[in-house]
């Protein structure tokens, strides 16, 4: 029996700097070329080490994630891909590299194209320099546009963009502006993720921090948290908030600035800065806007957070959601093959730990992952593989009756207008 093709994920744990929301394993790349070279050498050894396990398998996707793979030294990606082609049977591969705008120079774009990378996923996050600054991104919108120009000049057509929803101060208009920019740039794949505050990240810590700045010189006062001069008729150049009168209370989308004079002192109080996040309903509205806008412009939502024009779906990521086999290499990488999951530790000197899957684990994964896609799950195949007949269960029939699930033949899927509450639907089935 011929087994389906294998995917390979390669984690590159180096970045220009850590974003304020990021919980992925990554390290600043400055002064780390020796570490990078040692790490790439380890990756190449691991490729050679694991290849014998997959002698009868072809590889049809390779995905460089991070971190920021494009901060690697010249020839690093080439060396890794050469190790893959030398040790695996590779057939018509989709080869993706994640990238951030600040590292996508014209030279880097040409290098990636020359070594065989044929898909690029660029982290935009938002088409708003103020929001990018809040997120700790080191690029601007102009940097993103320049990066896309470089990719086009190098011959790339399969370009994806990551955008984030539920950001502090983000409005529907700002989401719309991001979508308009991506439409103008003719980006064929868009991933839209709601911000999740991860414990230990700067943005998570900012939740409970109350800032106040005592500003003694009211004419040249500066709120150091905002890096904004607060004078009469001053403008907060990050949030575009006009402060016209000393007594005025200004709502600048993120928090309220009380600008007042008391006994010759000017006090700015930033209460819970960065905490004016959209609530769940507002974030759901942002997601609905993304869905409505993209589907009206020829995109198909093939997974809850991923939209693509026909032919531009990410073949590698589809393996995750359909329980295809993939080998993860590098620090913090995960693998799934032979009915078991494997996890590498979060260290440059990573170790691999195997987690055998019980039938119950396999069943839950099949339900949870497949229902993330618009195709949903084949209930008949699920019954054959795991002995569970979803279509005879009262809970499932009730969810169908209430319009949360839809049944098309033997395929069970989340209703298109219920994708944003998918997690609560899936939880009832596990």
In this structure, what token pair is assigned to residue 312? 């531009």
pLDDT, residue 230, reads 40
pLDDT, residue 216, reads 35
CA distance 276 to 242: 18
- Count the Cβ atoms, other than its own, within 10 Å of residue 360: 11
Closest to 290 (Cα-Cα) out of 161, 147, 410: 161
**Whether pLDDT at 226 is above 70:** no
What are the pLDDT digits (tens) for 297-353?
999 999 999 999 999 999 999 999 999 999 999 999 999 999 899 999 999 999 999
pLDDT, residue 97, reads 98
Ranking 108-117, 255-264, 406-415 by mean pLDDT, the lowest is 255-264
Instruction: Annotate 289-318 with DSSP letters as a single string.
Output: HHHHHHHHTT-EEEETTEEE-TT-S-HHHH
| Between residues 248 and 3, the one the model is more confident about | 3
Element (H, E) at 46: helix 33-50
Element (H, E) at 195: none
Tell me the average pLDDT across 366-383. 96
Residue ranges, CATH 3.80.30.20, the chain: 6-197+278-356
The alpha helices in 23-105, defined as continuous H runs, are: 33-50, 76-87
- Count the Cβ atoms, other than its own, within 10 Å of residue 426: 17
**Whether pLDDT at 254 is above 60:** no
Q: Which residues pair with 229 in a beta bridge?
A: 222
The rounded Cα 224 to chain-centroid distance in angstroms is 30
What's the pTM?
0.85
CA distance 367 to 377: 7
CA distance 76 to 39: 10
**Whether pLDDT at 369 is above 70:** yes
What are the pLDDT digits (tens) for 150-203?
999 999 999 999 999 999 889 999 999 999 999 999 999 999 999 988 888 877
Tell me the average pLDDT across 410-421. 94
Q: Edge-to-edge strands of the sheet including 377-378?
A: 377-378, 411-414, 405-408
**Whether pLDDT at 242 is above 50:** no
Residue 82: band (very low, low, confident or very high) from pLDDT cuts 50, 70, 90: very high
pLDDT, residue 265, reads 29
pLDDT, residue 211, reads 35
Pick the CATH number of 6-197+278-356 from 3.40.50.1860, 3.80.30.20, 3.60.21.10, 3.30.70.141: 3.80.30.20
Q: How many CA atoms lie within 13 A of 360 on its CB side?
A: 1
Tell me the average pLDDT across 35-60. 96
CA distance 217 to 231: 10
Q: Which residues pair with 263 in a beta bridge?
A: none
b/e map 11-28, b = 16+ CB within 10 Å: bbbbbbbbbbbbeebbbe
Ranking 79-88, 247-256, 318-327, 411-420 by mean pLDDT, the lowest is 247-256
pLDDT, residue 234, reads 39
CA distance 80 to 62: 10
CA distance 325 to 339: 9
Closest to 112 (Cα-Cα) out of 98, 91, 101, 125: 98
Beta-carbon contacts of 263 under 8 Å, excluding residues fewer than 6 positions away, are none
**Whether pLDDT at 223 is above 80:** no
As a whole-number percent, the residues of the chain with pLDDT over 70 amount to 83
CA distance 25 to 39: 14
b/e map 381-396, b = 16+ CB within 10 Å: ebeeebebebeeeeeb
Q: Do 363 and 386 form a contact (C-beta atoms < 8 A)?
A: yes
pLDDT, residue 200, reads 82
Pairing of strands 260-262, 306-308: unpaired
pLDDT, residue 275, reads 54
CA distance 45 to 108: 25
Q: Do 97 and 64 form a contact (C-beta atoms < 8 A)?
A: yes
Query: In which residue are the tokens 């907060």 written?
Result: 236
What are the pLDDT digits (tens) for 258-311?
333 222 223 333 444 445 778 889 999 999 999 999 999 999 999 999 999 999
Q: What is the mean pLDDT of the chain?
A: 85
- Residue 390 is given by DSSP the state G
Residue 244: band (very low, low, confident or very high) from pLDDT cuts 50, 70, 90: very low
Tell me the average pLDDT across 194-217. 62
């Amino acid at each position: 029996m011929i087994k389906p093709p294998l995917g390979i994920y390669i984690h590159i744990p180096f970045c220009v700097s850590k974003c304020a929301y990021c919980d992925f394993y990554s390290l600043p790349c400055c002064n780390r070329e020796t570490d990078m070279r040692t790490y790439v050498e380890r990756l190449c050894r691991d490729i050679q080490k694991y290849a014998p396990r997959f002698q009868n398998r072809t590889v049809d996707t390779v995905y460089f994630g991070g971190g920021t793979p494009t901060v690697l030294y010249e020839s690093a990606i080439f060396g890794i891909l050469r190790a893959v082609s030398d040790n695996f049977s590779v057939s018509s591969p989709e080869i993706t590299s994640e990238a951030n705008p600040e590292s996508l120079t014209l030279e880097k774009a040409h290098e990636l194209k020359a070594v065989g990378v044929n898909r690029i996923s660029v982290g935009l996050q938002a088409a708003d320099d103020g929001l990018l600054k809040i997120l700790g991104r080191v690029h601007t919108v102009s940097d993103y546009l320049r990066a896309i120009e470089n990719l086009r000049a190098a011959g790339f057509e399969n370009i994806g963009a990551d955008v984030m929803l539920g950001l502090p101060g983000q409005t529907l208009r700002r989401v719309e502006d991001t979508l308009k920019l991506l439409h103008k740039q003719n980006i064929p794949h868009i991933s839209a993720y709601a911000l999740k505050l991860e414990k230990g990240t700067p943005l998570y810590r900012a939740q409970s921090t109350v800032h106040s700045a005592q500003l003694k010189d009211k004419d040249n006062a500066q709120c150091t948290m905002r890096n904004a001069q607060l004078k009469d008729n001053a403008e907060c150049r990050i949030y575009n908030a006009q402060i016209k009168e000393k007594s005025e209370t200004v709502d600048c989308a993120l928090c309220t600035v009380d600008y007042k004079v008391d006994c010759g002192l000017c006090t700015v109080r930033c209460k819970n800065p960065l905490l004016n996040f959209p609530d769940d309903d507002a974030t759901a509205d942002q997601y609905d806007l993304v869905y409505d806008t993209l589907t009206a412009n020829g995109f198909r939502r093939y997974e809850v957070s991923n939209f693509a024009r026909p032919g531009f779906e990410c073949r590698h990521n589809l393996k995750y959601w359909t329980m295809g086999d993939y080998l993860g290499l590098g620090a913090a990488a995960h693998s799934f093959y032979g009915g078991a999951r494997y996890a590498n530790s979060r260290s440059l000197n990573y170790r691999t730990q195997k987690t055998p899957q019980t039938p119950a684990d396999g069943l839950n994964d099949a339900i949870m992952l497949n229902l993330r896609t618009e195709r949903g799950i084949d209930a008949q195949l699920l019954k054959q593989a795991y002995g569970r007949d979803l279509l005879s269960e009262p809970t499932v029939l009730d969810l169908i009756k209430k319009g949360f699930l839809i049944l098309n033949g033997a395929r069970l899927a989340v209703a298109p207008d219920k994708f944003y509450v998918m997690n609560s639907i899936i939880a009832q089935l596990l």
